Structure 1
Amino acid sequence: MPRFGFVRISSVCLRTAIADPAANVAEITRVLEQLPDSDIVLFPELCVTGYTCADLFGQSRLLEAAREQAQQLAERMARRQQLIVVGLPVAVDNGLYNCAAVLFQGRVLGLVPKQYLPNYQEYYESRWFRPGAASVPAEIDWSGERVPFGVDLLFQAEDVVVGIELCEDLWVPLPPSAFQAVAGANVLLNLSASNETIGKNRYRTDLVVGQSGRCIAAYAYASAGPTESTTDLVFGGHCLIAENGVLLAESPRVGDGQGLHRDSYFITADVDVERLRNDRRKTTSFDACAAHLPRRYRTIPFALSAELSGLRRSVSGTPFIPQDNAELHRRCAEIFGVQCAALAQRVSRLPDDAPLNLGVSGGLDSTLALLVAVKMCDYLGWPRTRIRGLTMPGFGTTQATRQNALDLMEHLGVAAEVFDIRPLCCDAFRALGHRPFGIALESLSAAELQAALAHVPPHEFHDLVFENVQARIRTLLLMSRGFVIGTGDLSEAALGWSTYNADHMSMYNPNCSIPKTLVRFLVRYVAEHEFEGAARETLLKIVATPISPELLPLSAEGTSRQATEASLGSYELHDFFLYHFLRNGFSPRKILFLSQHANFTQAYSRSEIEATLRTFYRRFFANQFKRSCVPDGPKVGSVSLSPRGDWRMPSDADAQAWLDSFAP
């Protein structure tokens, strides 16, 4: 398959034979045979000899054997289009260096020495090694060739640029990987020998994940394991792969409760270099750090294969929804906290007795907005009756949603009112000279029009004036009462699924950056964790109700004949597209590719996914004019469509270039 910017990395914990380079290289070879499709394979620090050789590092025979075996390894892998990184001691002039050797297609491309040598507590590396510094020679002799040597080496295959540091280098205040990233490296590798002590694994993981985020890079870490000498220490064998602040893969380790792993093992993940490049491009402060680079870097070329088999990476079908159960409660509390704080600040500018008006339809969005308003009142010690919920049934409102709205307001203890908008709508139709679906109004009452509308066949359901009048009457009634809390969500804004200057408008909208899939998730979460009895039952009924604006006529039986997802496609798909289009800047072809590997909550055919993606692009481009004038509201996640913040786009832009790029 095409790469779509993915690079496959494996981090290995090696079964080590201490001071036996031949045995270690044989084991490295055995592991590599299990990783034929990895682009980069990373082994631990000093893995060719073992990290715990101590004063044996002063033995010429050990150093000679290490170099011989590393060269043999390179030659054995000559037919592999694979970057292999191993650790070994390298003697240069009067010094000995703890190095990473970079092997590719039978050659040693370069040697990167460790810059920061720990020499405190249990570490004594300065007893044997010298730190890599700018004063080391730029090249050394290696098996009859001149091989680049130094801390200024980067390795590049088109858009993939690899930087390397060793163990302690990451733990210092200014890690070499930070400078490598600013110099262009987007894949950072760390060969390590990190011993295991109580609680150290968490700090180590935070270091790796945090550095990947600060550097907007992939960061792979491979540590020596429990077959190193245990004379004084136990090495954990912890391997990690992170990408821009997210942990993609983690290995077992000593002390994790999963038993002992004495044989070699590895983790593999596909990192997305295209996403990293897009993120760096958007983070305009990133390149400003180049003024602080301590040196110029040399770049050594290598090559990746043209294609990648499969995808070794989890792709969430619901990227806006928290995936980690351990983080679930904290994340939901955080979302509500941001919404409540934002609404509280805006409301604080109103008179103390100003009512907070909110249209409650019995649907998901108004339910979430009402829950936020109630929680805000509770936080601030205000009576919930300051919130005035108004439910406004129209020609498409079912008895079920109307009852859900009334029950919800009763359970939450807010002031509630019902206003039937149908008579006002009839007056508006007459004033406009409009015949809804061709029906002559003349002296028809609202109830008589409702009965006549039940006979309109679904294939004739196209009357925007009929829908827009209802939406605008509702907004008129709300705004005429004072301050209005908006309810529209991020997905509706992206697709333009709102009536301009109707449900599109309010005085403040706490939902504006919450996508539909997250709205549903949050309402369900609140129902299951914060309510019991009848209130929980009502909230779960709302979650289970098919999404609909309920603007088109009901059937003769009083059931809704309008389902949003039947018109637009699944919101799960639209939110998936929205995330990767806005957050990552991906092309339609890459989004389609990711959708084939995503863990959606239901199965979708390729044709359904592609048709929905086309709908997404058409509607997104056609509806920027609505997004250019929306009420204030808080940014909650990494994606927002506020024209004052994250998204500024001309209203007359054309989607054709995106639509033309779909694979045939």
Structure 2
Amino acid sequence: MNEYGFVRVTCAAIRTSVGNPTANCREIIGVLGQVADSDVVLFPELAVTGYTCGDLFGQVALLKAGIEGTLRIAEATRGREQLVVVGLPLPLTNSLYNAAVAISDGEVLGIVPKQFIPNYKEFYESRWFSSANGGEPKEVDFGGRTVPFGIDLLFRANRRLVVGIEICEDLWMPIPPSSVQAIAGATLLLNLSASNETIGKSQYRHDLVVGQSGRCIAAYAYSSAGPTESTTDLVFGGHCLLAENGRLLAESSRVGDGHPIRRDSYFITQDVDVEKLESDRRSTTSFDDCLKYVSPFRHVEFTLSSMMTGLKRFVTGTPFVPVEGPELHRRCAEIFGIQCAGLAKRIESLPKGTPLNLGISGGLDSTLALLVAVKTCDMLGLDRRTIQGTTMPGFGTTARTRNNALQLMEQLGIGNETIDISGLALKTFQELKHAPFGVDAGELDLESFRKALAEVPRERRHDLTFENVQARLRTFILMSKGFVIGTGDLSELALGWSTYNGDQMSMYNPNGSIPKTLVKFLVEYAAREEFEAGPVRETLLSIVGTTISPELLPASKGGEIEQSTEDVLGPYELHDFILFNAVRCGFAPEKILFLSGFAEFTKPYPRELIETTLKTFYRRFFTQQFKRSCLPDGPKVGSVSLSPRGDWRMPSDGDAHEWLRWANRG
């Protein structure tokens, strides 16, 4: 377990010798030798003896050998700060229990019996085993040592990780024991299983494991007996799964998955994020409301090593972007659907025939908003010319973006108009007696003013008034025409990369919870999937390939974009990575920096750039909250929203000191 709350978990299936604990324990110890760096290692149900022993479970020789073998396993863990859980038939007074034995550092920590014993169809467990109901002795003698026993045991490590254990059928019940364990504080749930393979069962098993991890806001580890169990009547798949809060982290091969059947011992290993689970539970304030249904649990303490190295876990560098694969089209359709549904309701509430005004810049955000508006009008049966697109070139507008804007409006069949704001901006500078970049506008005409601006060296082109006047003029023009559809995205909102009462404002913004990396992806996706090869696709792909810029500073003498947003702020890919982990997960900056070292970005980023971008994000995130405090309406689409009426309420005068301490230490 490391300082950031990651716990390394292994789920193993062993080569089983039915009725031979000596051979099985040798296999278990062999696996342990391969996963010495794991914090928790889970083996299948009754792995010590084999699940399919039948009436051999009534033989003293088997039961005695099982206990002796388990003690050998315990001895093999001596000196290792690791939790190992194995399945064992345990005789106690007049009963025999199907039990999970928790072991650490040479000692048996405690034993948890199975509560729900299946005795239907192919299962006959109650022929041999008793169901545990809480009335059992609280302690048992195991190898000459008294150890805790019962269904009320939780295992706690380093005063942080809490582990709950259930066995196979327990998960299939309406209220699995793991649900109660999670409510009582368990963040890692273990299931020792022997689940046979029948047609379609694997998918249901997968859904149970992933679903239970989501309901419990926990990590759920599942290890099942494999094909070397007896096949007299059944075949066991050796299915191992590891899920975290509704998401599958890892899955082993199994019998019937189309791959070669494995007859050796094998395992899967992944790092689960306990800190994230704790954060998710805290933010789900209804979670603790279930505590009234839970009886007290006993906690058994143990220690995990804090020397965990590396990270065995996939970390995406683009957490907002759908993963390529079968679900891609469905996910993109879902995103567009939510945006369109939100805008449609707002349009229906307007007087019939109200024009929908939209500023079209030839950039990504306005393009996505336009695609959503077009889809919405088509859905409502409205003429696309209800959308009144206006492109408003200024001093920084390039031929490429202007042409893209004009072509896209024409190709999509919306109303379009061009209003050059340069003259209005010059007049405003003159009225304000403002000299942009030191250029005295005075009595200059527009052409002379443009020429004077072109002579200003690039390093002197810093003037917020020059930029804000243009941004506010565009909003003034649009709002003077009527109802305005906004275009600003989630990443810009997080960074405050917008002009207050300028492009920050609209009557309804369908893009408000779409981060920049997702905007770019959706526009490219629409180009390739929604439009056939031709002019519209070409225009959209040209927009995708354009440098991201507000185009508020003068273009270069060659007519190229001079003002690159990412040159100023840092790559949007990094900002969106930080945004997701900071807001959605609640991670500290140090943990985000740690994760960035393992993240799969679309391209490599130097450590220095990541650190600089992280500092930029937090400084701007705090100082620019006032712009988010008065956002226009718009739908929540993904798991992160900064709407002050929804997910994010933050004081506009908050202090970022604690979030920047790591940088000051550096």
TM-score normalised by the chain length of structure 2: 0.99
Q: In 2 relative to 1, CA 2–161 (structure 1 residues): closer, same or farther, beyond 3 Å?
A: closer
Work out the CA distance in 2 between the residues paired with 1:309 and 1:555: 49
Which amino acid in structure 2 is aligned with residue 580 of structure 1?
Answer: N
Residues 508 and 633, structure 1, Cα contact 8 Å, conserved in 2? yes
Tell me if the contact between 1:17 and 1:23 (Cα under 8 Å) persists in the aligned partners. Answer: yes
What is the CA-CA distance between 1:441 and the residue it aligns to?
A: 2.0
Q: Distance in 2 between matches of 1:144 and 1:52?
A: 28
- Answer yes or no: is 1:171 the counterpart of 2:138: no
| In 1: Cα distance, 2:585 partner to 2:521 partner | 23
Which shows bigger deviation, 247-256 or 73-82?
73-82
Runs of 4+ in 1 over 4 A off after TM superposition: none
Please show how residues 151-300 of structure 1 align to structure 2 within 5 Å. 151-157=151-157, 158-293=159-294, 295-300=295-300
Does the residue aligned with 2:217 lie in a helix, a strand or coil? coil
1:454 aligned partner, one-letter code:
A
Distance 2:224 2:3 in 1: 28
Secondary structure at 1:326's aligned position in 2? coil
The residue identity in structure 2 corresponding to 1:372 is V
Give the structure 2 partner of residue 359 of structure 1. 359
Take 1:412 and 1:485, find their aligned partners in 2: how far apart are those partners?
A: 17
CA distance in 2, matches of 1:450, 1:258: 68
Q: Which amino acid aligns with 2:575?
A: H
Counterpart residue type for residue 29 of structure 2? T
Matches within 5 A, 1:606-621: 606-621=607-622
Shift of 1:447: 2.5
- The answer (yes or no) to whether the contact 2:42–2:223 under 8 Å persists in 1 is yes
Deviating more after overlay: 15-24 vs 324-333: 324-333
Contact 2:547–2:561 (CA under 8 A) maintained in structure 1: no
The answer on 1:73 being equivalent to 2:73 is yes
Deviations 1:329-386 (A, max 9, x none): 0100000000000001111110111000000000000000000000011111111110
Q: How does 1:114-133 map onto structure 2 within 5 Å?
A: 114-133=114-133
Aligned to 2:659: 658
Match of 1:551 in 2: 552
Match of 1:521? 521
* Cα separation, 2, equivalents of 1:603 and 1:28: 40
For the 8 Å contact 2:8–2:38, the answer to whether it is kept is yes
Task: Give distance in 1, aligned partners of 2:59 and 2:247.
Answer: 42
Structure 1 unaligned spans of 5+: none
Partners of 2:290 and 2:231 lie apart in 1 by 42
Aligned to 1:4: 4
Q: Displacement of 1:427 after TM fit?
A: 1.1
Distance 1:542 1:416 in 2: 18
Change (3 A) 1:131 1:324: farther
Secondary structure of 1:237's counterpart equals coil
What is the deviation of 1:144? 1.3
Going from structure 1 to structure 2, the CA distance change for 1:2 and 1:173 (only over 3 Å counts) comes to closer
The answer to whether the 8 A contact 2:433-2:442 is kept is: no
Q: Which amino acid in 1 is paired with 2:573?
A: E
Contact 2:362 2:405 in 1 (8 A): yes
Q: Tell me, what secondary structure is at the counterpart of 2:140?
A: strand
Q: In angstroms, what is the RMSD of aligned CA positions?
A: 0.9
Q: Deviations over 1:246-274 (max 9, x none)?
A: 10000000011111111011000000000
The 5 Å alignment of 1:579-658 reads 579-658=580-659
**Deviation string for 1:497-532 (max 9, x for gaps)?**
000001000000000000000000000000010112
> Aligned to 1:174, what secondary structure does the other structure show?
coil
CA apart distance, 1:656: 1.2
Is 1:340 the counterpart of 2:340? The answer is: yes
Q: Distance in 2 between matches of 1:223 and 1:507?
A: 55
SS of equivalent residue, structure 1 residue 91: strand
* Equivalent residues of 2:357, 2:389 under 8 A apart: yes
- Whole-Å separation in 1 of the counterparts to 2:587 and 2:124: 48
Deviation at 1:630, TM superposition (A): 0.8
Deviation at 1:2, TM superposition (A): 4.4
- The one-letter amino acid paired with 1:268 is T
Aligned to 1:569: 570
Secondary structure in 2 aligned to 1:163?
strand
Instruction: Specify the SS of the correspondent of 2:497.
Output: coil
Question: Counterpart of 1:620 in 2: which secondary structure?
Answer: helix
Q: Which amino acid aligns with 2:574?
A: L
Give the AA of the match of 1:499.
T
The number of equivalent residue pairs is 663
Query: Shift in Å at residue 324 of structure 1?
Result: 4.5
**What is the match of residue 413 of structure 2?**
413
**Length-normalised TM-score, structure 1:** 0.99
Name 2:322's counterpart in structure 1: 322
Equivalent residues of 2:6, 2:275 under 8 A apart: yes
